[in-house]
Amino acid sequence: MKLWYQKPAASWEEALPIGNGRLGAMVCGGIQKELLYLNEDSIWYGKSINRINPDAYNNLDNVRELILNGEIQKAEELLKVAFSGTPQSQRPYQSLGKMTITMQGLKEESQNYVRSLELETGICTTTFTIGEAVYTREVFSSYPNKIMVMHMTCSQKASISFQAFMSRERYYDNAGAVNNHTIYMDGNLGKGGVEFYCALMVKANGGNVRTVGEHLIVEEADSVMLCFAADTTFYSKEPKRNVQKLLNAAAKKSYDKLKLKHITDFSELMQRVSFTLIDGENASLPTDERIKAFGAGIKDNSLAALYFQYGRYLLVSSSRPGSLPANLQGIWNNNMTPCWDSKFTININTEMNYWPVEICNLSECHQPLFEHLKRLVKTGKKTAKKMYGCRGFCAHHNTDLWADSAPQDIYTPASYWTQGGAWLCTHLWMHYQYTINKEWLKKVAYPILREAVLFYTDFLVEKDEYLVTCPSVSPENTYIRVDKKQVEGQQTNNVTSGCACYGPTMDNQILRDVFSQFIEMVRELELDDDLEKQAKLILTKLPPNQVGKYGQIMEWCEDYDEAEPGHRHISHLYGLYPSHQITVDKTPELIEAAKTTLKRRLDNGGGHTGWSCAWIINFYTRLHDGNTALSFLQRIMRQSTYPNLMDNHPLGSGSVFQIDGNFGACAAIAEMLVQSDDDKVWLLPALPDEWEEGEVKGLCVYGGASIDLMWKNHKLKTVELHSRRIYPITLIYRGTERTIQTDCNRLEFNL
């Protein structure tokens, strides 16, 4: 289970990622020069500031009146000036810098080059031969030891010589020697912003070690261990002291001990799930060649299994307890001004990052999102009160290191959407459904979700017989509005476009989840909460899903056409996925409307970005259409995947890395095999015809169990359940239902 190549990375997009949640790197695997692009997850420029527009609340009634009366252009102009953040942008995530290692004495041509990333261990290895000497480098980022480690060996003694140093484009103050075997770099990220300190230490067997200026120099060593650590004032008051403490501890340990501790930690997470599909003829090719062949139409089922495990690998590497959540690029970013600031975009992207976390048996990797959500509640209470005069908390479509909850950008299709915090809150109930941890539900989830419910009890306004959000948008989409007018006895159509609206379908669907999940929490915890009564009442007054003139799910409260019919966001199908409001067994009419919605989007060029294509795969898994789901999985791998299997997003004439597509597709592959819905578990609900034979072990289902499945000739052969608790569970396979009682041991049976 590895990625491997026969040449060094020619660019950042070809390098291989390692990470321990906080500390990451992209490893290029160069021969004469090894380059590591470094990241630490709290390296964000700028201090925390209050960006709430002071004129928002005073203009709230005005903007609502304009929207409800159909004066959309006036409403949007008012939103831009009175509701945009001041300043309009949050803080950007930045690269920590680069580690450059220039090898000495490698004068001959190299042979037998291999660069690989072992997903089960999280170790990146580069090996090559020069003359009779075999050179090997191993690199990993250790979660238990909180450091990054590189080990260099050579089959011939006294053959390792190099110079190493660290650099950063800007915003660093000092670089130099700590002692004769350690160099450092430090700096600050703007006035009042985060201060950082990082250091690189060498421990060599044989040879000579010294520092000159900001360079670390090793000459004629037999083997070398490099240890890198970084810390910031976001996490601690004394980053320098912490880094030195980590490196001093590492210096007392052998490489083998550090490596073993890392492997024990990392592999325990990765080995929880195995997934096997029959290998194709190209399974033995280097990964970049496999991707090219796959793009040319050559069948390679096991590449899908590798891609699935790579998604799990990226999540383990970018989101661990104690770290920040995975951002738009996980933790891997080589720019000072990355696209979209590489923030937490919470109108789908951050949520998509965590779609696979529970079903793929990585539940603890969800914790960074919940910790950030706690912080977002604090800032979101201020935003709710000052912008909207409401209790509770809200957040718009982006947040950053400081849990900023005010609107981001002056961008009408996205900025003035209050549902970002609400959507994140649905992950609380998701986590509980898989873990059934009532103590966590009471201490963590319930207080957060209650604040979201409290906000909407104040924020919603009456329109006809319903309660609706206003102002709002359907994320990043634009509608076409046709107003009929009489002019001198003649009817004319005034055609305008707009984004601002009330009660878009996605808002209603998210709130239906938020309010119903709150009610379920109160019931589960046996609480007496007056807010529950209001929640039940509001739930009955949310607008229902509506079917429009084309037979599609309506995206807005009125049956508008889209300005861009193939738009990448398909927000009005939130109810199909990730929610369970539209299902094959309970809402057949809406399922048909969802199919029509997808067809219209795709006929007009939809699914052209990686993450959007990943969402489409999930839609088709929920429609139990495995072959179409597979066709879009093949599309994402052909058109939206770099040679290192990372997802790309189109930008101008090129593309940029964006991690959500990896995570969304990973979740979809899992749901092809297993789906949970309330008290039912669907087995192989969207198995493609091409996956004739396979086996999966360790996927999780609602209620606290994991499941193993084996199939052959497209038929399920064995099922095993592993449960942490005793509860009834209904399994469905090809229309046959069977309800069984789990126990706390392995349970094997046939359907």
Q: Answer yes or no: do 372 and 266 share one domain.
A: no
SS3 564: coil
Residue 38 lies in a domain: yes
What is the CATH number for 422?
1.50.10.10
- Please tell me the predicted confidence (pLDDT) of residue 493: 72
Final residue before a domain boundary, out of 552, 574, 595: 552
Q: Is residue 99 predicted with pLDDT exceeding 70?
A: yes
Q: Answer yes or no: do 35 and 130 share one domain.
A: yes
- Please tell me the predicted confidence (pLDDT) of residue 748: 63
Residue 655 lies in a domain: no
> Sorting pLDDT into bands at 50, 70 and 90, what band is 454?
very high
- Please tell me the predicted confidence (pLDDT) of residue 744: 65
Q: Answer yes or no: do 257 and 373 share one domain.
A: no
The residue assigned the tokens 């290692």 is 101
Give pLDDT tens digits for 728-742: 999 999 999 999 888
Average of per-residue pLDDT across 451-470 = 97
Average of per-residue pLDDT across 102-111 = 90
- Please tell me the predicted confidence (pLDDT) of residue 724: 87
Domain count, the chain: 2
| Cross-strand partners of 7 | none
Give pLDDT tens digits for 552-595: 999 999 999 999 999 999 999 999 999 999 999 999 999 999 99
Alpha-carbon span 251 to 258, nearest angstrom? 10
Give pLDDT tens digits for 405-422: 999 999 999 999 999 999
Contact (Cβ atoms closer than 8 angstroms) between residue 197 and residue 230 = yes
Q: Answer yes or no: do 266 and 166 share one domain.
A: yes
Mean pLDDT over the full length of the chain: 95
Q: Answer yes or no: do 17 and 161 share one domain.
A: yes
Residue 707 lies in a domain: no
- Please tell me the predicted confidence (pLDDT) of residue 241: 98
Q: Output the CA torsion 413→414→415→416 (10° steps).
A: 80
Contacts of 420 (CB under 8 A, 6+ apart): 346, 347, 394, 395, 396, 397, 398, 399, 405
Q: Answer yes or no: do 258 and 164 share one domain.
A: yes
Residue 71 lies in a domain: no
Helical packing angle, 446-459 and 505-525, nearest 10°? 130
Residue 18 lies in a domain: yes
Q: How many CB atoms lie within 10 A of CB 210?
A: 13
- Please tell me the predicted confidence (pLDDT) of residue 483: 77
Average of per-residue pLDDT across 281-302 = 90
Contact (Cβ atoms closer than 8 angstroms) between residue 275 and residue 356 = no
Average of per-residue pLDDT across 183-196 = 96
Alpha-carbon span 256 to 262, nearest angstrom? 10
Q: Answer yes or no: do 494 and 396 share one domain.
A: yes
Beta strands 195-205 and 223-232 are antiparallel
Give pLDDT tens digits for 6-47: 999 999 999 999 999 999 999 999 999 999 999 999 999 999
Residue-wise over 610-628: b if at least 16 C-beta within 10 A, else e? bbbbbbbbbbbbbbbbbeb
Average of per-residue pLDDT across 687-699 = 97
Average of per-residue pLDDT across 450-465 = 97
- Please tell me the predicted confidence (pLDDT) of residue 107: 80
Q: Which domain holds residue 217?
A: 2-44+94-274
> Sorting pLDDT into bands at 50, 70 and 90, what band is 750?
low
- Please tell me the predicted confidence (pLDDT) of residue 485: 65
> Sorting pLDDT into bands at 50, 70 and 90, what band is 492?
low
> Sorting pLDDT into bands at 50, 70 and 90, what band is 665?
very high
Least confident of 491-500, 525-534, 542-551, 627-636: 491-500
Would the pTM count as exceeding 0.85? yes
Q: Answer yes or no: do 425 and 528 share one domain.
A: yes
Give pLDDT tens digits for 325-355: 999 999 999 999 999 999 999 999 999 999 9
What is the CATH number for 261?
2.70.98.50
Q: Answer yes or no: do 155 and 14 share one domain.
A: yes
> Sorting pLDDT into bands at 50, 70 and 90, what band is 395?
very high
Contacts of 530 (CB under 8 A, 6+ apart): none
Contact (Cβ atoms closer than 8 angstroms) between residue 87 and residue 416 = no
The sign of the torsion formed by the CA atoms of 140, 145, 148, 153 equals negative
- Please tell me the predicted confidence (pLDDT) of residue 108: 82
- Please tell me the predicted confidence (pLDDT) of residue 747: 60
Residue-wise over 185-194: b if at least 16 C-beta within 10 A, else e? bbbbbeeebb
Q: Answer yes or no: do 138 and 251 share one domain.
A: yes
Give pLDDT tens digits for 374-387: 999 999 999 999 99
Alpha-carbon span 461 to 476, nearest angstrom? 23
- Please tell me the predicted confidence (pLDDT) of residue 486: 57
Contacts of 346 (CB under 8 A, 6+ apart): 395, 396, 397, 398, 399, 420, 421, 423, 424
Final residue before a domain boundary, out of 533, 552, 571: 552
Q: Answer yes or no: do 112 and 255 share one domain.
A: yes
SS3 716: strand
Q: What angle do CA 597, 602, 605 make, to 5 degrees?
A: 135
- Please tell me the predicted confidence (pLDDT) of residue 489: 62
Q: What are phi and psi of 582, to 5 degrees?
A: -120, 110
- Please tell me the predicted confidence (pLDDT) of residue 376: 98
Alpha-carbon span 42 to 55, nearest angstrom? 31
Q: Answer yes or no: do 6 and 155 share one domain.
A: yes
Least confident of 10-19, 59-68, 175-184, 275-284: 275-284
The percent of residues in the chain predicted with pLDDT above 90, rounded, is 91
Two structure tokens written together for 316: 């383990």
Residue 686 lies in a domain: no
> Sorting pLDDT into bands at 50, 70 and 90, what band is 295?
confident
The residue assigned the tokens 């609340």 is 57
Residue of 106, 61, 54, 111 lying closest to 83 (CA atoms): 54
Residue 299 lies in a domain: no
- Please tell me the predicted confidence (pLDDT) of residue 341: 94
Final residue before a domain boundary, out of 240, 274, 308: 274
The percent of residues in the chain predicted with pLDDT above 70, rounded, is 98
Residue 601 lies in a domain: no
Q: Output the CA torsion 266→271→275→279 (10° steps).
A: 70
Q: How many CB atoms lie within 10 A of CB 215?
A: 18
Q: Is residue 487 predicted with pLDDT exceeding 90?
A: no
